[in-house]
A and B are shown apart, each in its own frame.
Chain A
Amino acid sequence: MSDMPYPDALRVDAFDKVRGVQRYAADNARPGLAHAVLATATIARGTVRRIDAAAARAVPGVRLVLTHEELNGLKPPGFLMGGGYGFQSIQPITSPHIAYRGQPIALVVADNLEAAAEGARLIRADYAAEPHQVTLDAPEADIVAQADSPLPKPMFADVKAGEADAAYAAAAIRIEADFRHPPQHQNPIEMLSTVAEWRDGHLTVHEGTQNAEAIRHGLARQLGIEPERITVLSPSAGGGFGQKNSLQAHTVLAAEAARRLERPVKLVVTRAQIFHDSSFRPASRHRIRLGADTAGRMVALIHETDSQTSRHDLFPTQYTELSARLYGIAGFRGRERLVRTDVQTPGYMRAPYEHPAAFAVECCVDELAYRLGRDPVALRLANDTTADPITGQPYSSRYLAECLRRGAARFGWDRRSMEPGSMRAEDGSLMGWGVAIGAYKAATAAAIARLRLSADGAVTFSVGVHEMGQGIRTAIFAVLVRRLGVEPGRITLEIGSTGTTPQHLTAGSWGTATAIPAAEEVCDALLRALETLPSRLSLAERLRAAGRPYLEVEVSRRAPGQPEAVMGRLTSGLPAAMGPAYPGYVSFSHVAHFVEVRVEPSTRRIRVPRVVSVADCGRVISPRTAASQLRGGVIWGIGAALREVSEVDVRYGGFLNADLAEYVLPVHADIGTIDVEFVDAPDPRLNAAGVKGLGEVSMVGVAPAIANAVHHATGRRLRALPIRVEDLL
């Protein structure tokens, strides 16, 4: 069924969202609810010598104060990348050890929010501080070569293809440059928030998440109870972007407080606390060496990275998995190092590796174009490939050249003059046009899908996927409507909450490629089951003719080549996704971004009035939400390139600009026209629906396209993000 494009359809939850009908965990305001507030550490590393909670306990309305003295029995969640469930391995408030500024040291629970906040303010801690270190400029002892680390291989081995160093040394044209990326924070509008309640020994957790199953199994481990005694409800999360991809540090605290108080507890992590109490995009730096021959064939690429991790976990990186694959370069060598710093463990913020890696590589490719005097689009097209440089396998589909050609035409690229500073806008500002490409692995997760048709025509569908605003509900509706001919009003989706099908982590752009093929298969199974009955009747009529109140079918689906055993991981809340390398082929989504910047001649403000982006994500299931994803990715790219930085004062550790006024995200006035287009060619080799992923690839390449446009406008190569006014003065 991948041969027919999908028509445009409304976002199914838009009307509810606009009216504020959609409920999130923190909207829960049931009677009897107790409110919890965290108190956090003010030192960057050390130990709590003494904690004084007397004043907090004395605040009228305060019912419970939990410090490490009370909670030392709670078990750690285990680190997501180490067989566990948490975004980091340590559980705050279970020991006196302080690993980073902002780490929770106490939880205060009260009858109302005001009393809890006042109690948290009154918590006094006496610390023994130890020296700390929060930047990439760390002593050797804090730098870990990933290839020599205990991280699993070959997943985290250095990426190599051919003889990069020799090819680079012999190359006629060599480009070498260093790039810097600052730490950044996701800041979904729905803050980390949990309502936890116990009833007859059963724990129910309301929390917006991308990974309900990890919360369930992780809490079971932490609390020492059976996962069957826990339900996690997350029908809709208000944005995740990788921040909500695992068990958060606050969730077990809410659950434990609710257990002790025997009443439901709500815990909302404040915006300032979120900067310190959840994962973020780590600081990284990248050294690129790019070699080419005089004809413009890229022959060698060496990509060496240093990336921030915490002292307690190795948050691994895969920057070079992407940089090795943007072009058909025969000689590639990657080397990735991790730098231990005294922060919470960083994590997967949208396009975690691909965006910084593409920034570094694609700026160098632009530089190469200028060294060669070659049009940047033409140079990219000339270096495209059909086979994966790392494995030698073919791509299941690769429409990168198509993205570049369509984008160039749509943008009017042929009107560009090559010379930097040669184009002027009507208002006299310098105009720069830049291009860059991006790619992102097309991963797939194992899934179980269940479909029930009732004799009255109602359809209930469940599969492991979370709605975080990306539009998966709308995409699933599109498939069910097309396959079953059912009215949208008769469809109920059960996704994001445990207790139905396993709610596997929704991340890494595998949501659609996981849920949609499973939805198609389960529809097929239902149709097959009804095949024996006369086909002129509607599905529900056939069911009634057979005298059955309902019919339920279930399919279980693995990624191509995934072993049977992966279903065990799926049902125990562990990551069960694979890609981009499948047996016989490699799968990626691709994108090309074309950006116009204007630089004011006087105060040198940079504006982005126009972006054209063309993506290859396989078959587009929901045109409306797909376009929104792509536009959103471009906006993230604009933010990442020109606005966002989590400021660090090395003396204090932690992050300084921890609120939405001072952490500068783009606002509407920063965004001009974003014109998006899809190749919309199915990838039937990856799955019958022909879908790849879209959310992450959308932002890959935006930042270098902007930096390249700034170069085109001004002649300046700026290699540290964000690019701000001071860089061009």
Chain B
Amino acid sequence: MRPFTYARAGDEAAAIRAVSSGGRGTRFLAGGTTLYDLMKLGAEAPERLVDISALPGLASFDTAGPRELVFGAGARMSDVAADSRLVAEYPALSESLWKAASQQLRNMASLGGNLLQRTRCAYFRGGEPFACNKRTPGSGCAAREGIDRGHAVLGGSEACIATYPGDWAVALVAFDAVVDVAGPNGARTIPLQALHREPGTTPEVETSLARDEMILRIRVPATPLGRASTYHKIRDRESYAFALASAAVALWMEGDVVREARIALGGLATRPWRAQEAEAGLVGRPLTLEAARAAGEAALRNARPGHHNAFRIELGTRTVAEALLIAQRRA
């Protein structure tokens, strides 16, 4: 294991200062469930870690506000998942956390770290001898002609088809969440949809954050769509597995007719994937089985299969359709 230094930050400003002045090898550390894992695999090799997991204030969250829900980046997945207001008013948000990882991991992991988890692509994680543009830019992509069963069918590029594995960000994208971040040059707010990048020709660049920018909180506008929502996750086993396909869906129904719909896809794309075209197709019409299926098809219309993952296009289509019906029952 490569040597690294570890320091615990006293407050947010100090943490940002430490990461900024520490230079390229300096990183924020929250629960460590992603970062330590990747360090052991040699996929990350920071020289300095600045621990923000004990920062006062960063862990708080408030789901009762009239205008927005506010989640500190340091809040634990398990605490937020169990929040009774979230369970009742925004089931999709709670479910996306409940259905992620394991209880032990959720007890450790923070919401901010969760957003920044990295792909589970086995070639990326395995390192040598695999070619991987994300791990070693320019080395090639072993997945394209390899075991791509879990790889993305949406948003991939010549250089990389790695799936964004997280669940929480998918649910957030459906609810138009934003993230407040702060860096040495001040604070800014980014729509969650603009946080993650598609791989393009630079798969090693995964987000629009600067290295020394810290996520402070995530904000979700309060919306009547919360109640009739679900995070539907299909995986290879019933728990402790990443999504083969998932859908975060939220509905605002007027009688039988859809007034507004939100659809985001997980497990299928290189980043959290909002399916606005599919949403638009539902509005103003009754939500029938056929309409749900059509929305699923619209959401996956531009999907491109590889060698072993074509089934996930059909699976994704059905997952969206099923999720819409689950959400409808909650309306």
- Tell me the A residues contacting B by CB distance below 8 Å: 42-43, 101, 113-114, 117-118, 121, 602-605, 607, 643, 647, 649, 651-652, 656-658, 661-662, 664-670, 724-726, 729
Q: When the two chains form their complex, are residues B1 and A603 in contact, meaning their CB atoms are under 8 A apart?
A: no
Task: Check A603/B122 contact, CB under 8 A, given A649-B147, A669-B238.
Answer: no
- Chain A residue at minimum C-beta to C-beta distance from B101: A661
Q: 7 extra interchain contacts, Cβ-Cβ under 8 A, other than A43-B129, A651-B146, A670-B237?
A: A42-B128, A121-B1, A121-B2, A607-B238, A643-B236, A656-B126, A725-B315
Task: Check A652/B129 contact, CB under 8 A, given A647-B147, A669-B238, A729-B315.
Answer: yes
Task: Check A603/B315 contact, CB under 8 A, given A647-B147, A651-B146.
Answer: yes
Q: When the two chains form their complex, are residues A726 and B315 in contact, meaning their CB atoms are under 8 A apart?
A: yes
Q: When the two chains form their complex, are residues B239 and A725 in contact, meaning their CB atoms are under 8 A apart?
A: no
Q: When the two chains form their complex, are residues A118 and B1 in contact, meaning their CB atoms are under 8 A apart?
A: yes
| Cβ contacts B286-324/A at 8 Å (1 or 0 each) | 000000000000000000000000011011001101100
Give Cα distance in the complex from A717 to B1, angstroms.
49
- Chain A residue at minimum C-beta to C-beta distance from B322: A602
Determine if B36 is an interface residue (Cβ-Cβ < 8 Å): no
Q: How many A-B residue pairs have CB under 8 A?
A: 79
Q: When the two chains form their complex, are residues B311 and A726 in contact, meaning their CB atoms are under 8 A apart?
A: yes
Give Cα distance in the complex from A480 to B178, angstroms.
68
Contacting residues, chain B, for A729 (C-beta < 8 A)? 311, 314-315, 318
Q: When the two chains form their complex, are residues B147 and A670 in contact, meaning their CB atoms are under 8 A apart?
A: no
- Tell me the B residues contacting A by CB distance below 8 Å: 1-3, 42, 120, 122-123, 126, 128-130, 142, 145-147, 234, 236-241, 244-245, 311-312, 314-315, 318-319, 321-322
Is the contact region of chain B dominated by helix, strand, or loop, or is it mixed?
loop
Q: When the two chains form their complex, are residues A649 and B146 in contact, meaning their CB atoms are under 8 A apart?
A: yes
* CB of B147, distance to nearest CB on chain A (Å): 5
Contacting residues, chain A, for B123 (C-beta < 8 A)? 656
* CB of B40, distance to nearest CB on chain A (Å): 8
Give Cα distance in the complex from A729 to B310, angstroms.
11
Across the interface, B237 reaches (CB within 8 A) one of A101, A113, A647, A669, namely A669
Contacting residues, chain B, for A668 (C-beta < 8 A)? 239
Task: Check A42/B238 contact, CB under 8 A, given A117-B1, A657-B122, A725-B315.
Answer: no
Q: When the two chains form their complex, are residues A725 and B234 in contact, meaning their CB atoms are under 8 A apart?
A: yes
Give Cα distance in the complex from A661 to B122, angstroms.
11
Report which residue of A101, A114, A661 has the largest number of chain B beta carbons within 10 angstroms of its beta carbon. Answer: A661
Contacting residues, chain A, for B241 (C-beta < 8 A)? 664
Across the interface, A664 reaches (CB within 8 A) one of B122, B130, B146, B236, namely B236
Q: When the two chains form their complex, are residues B321 and A725 in contact, meaning their CB atoms are under 8 A apart?
A: no
- Chain B residue at minimum C-beta to C-beta distance from A270: B40
A-B contact pairs, 17 of them (CB 8 A): A42-B128, A101-B129, A113-B1, A121-B42, A603-B315, A643-B236, A651-B146, A652-B129, A656-B126, A664-B241, A666-B237, A667-B239, A667-B240, A669-B239, A669-B240, A729-B315, A729-B318
- Chain A residue at minimum C-beta to C-beta distance from B236: A664
Contacting residues, chain A, for B312 (C-beta < 8 A)? 726
Contacting residues, chain B, for A726 (C-beta < 8 A)? 311-312, 315
Give Cα distance in the complex from A649 to B244, angstroms.
20
Give Cα distance in the complex from A114 to B4, angstroms.
11
Across the interface, A724 reaches (CB within 8 A) one of B122, B126, B236, B318, namely B236
Across the interface, B1 reaches (CB within 8 A) one of A114, A651, A661, A665, namely A114
- Chain A residue at minimum C-beta to C-beta distance from B42: A121
* CB of B213, distance to nearest CB on chain A (Å): 29
Contacting residues, chain A, for B318 (C-beta < 8 A)? 602-604, 729
Q: Which 10 A-B pairs have the closest CB atoms?
A: A669-B238, A726-B311, A669-B239, A42-B129, A602-B322, A114-B1, A117-B1, A42-B128, A664-B236, A656-B122
Q: When the two chains form their complex, are residues B315 and A670 in contact, meaning their CB atoms are under 8 A apart?
A: no
Across the interface, B130 reaches (CB within 8 A) one of A602, A643, A652, namely A652
Q: When the two chains form their complex, are residues B120 and A603 in contact, meaning their CB atoms are under 8 A apart?
A: no
Give Cα distance in the complex from A692 to B291, angstroms.
59
* CB of B287, distance to nearest CB on chain A (Å): 15
Give Cα distance in the complex from A289 to B85, angstroms.
60
Give Cα distance in the complex from A605 to B321, angstroms.
15
Give Cα distance in the complex from A647 to B129, angstroms.
16
Contacting residues, chain B, for A661 (C-beta < 8 A)? 120, 240
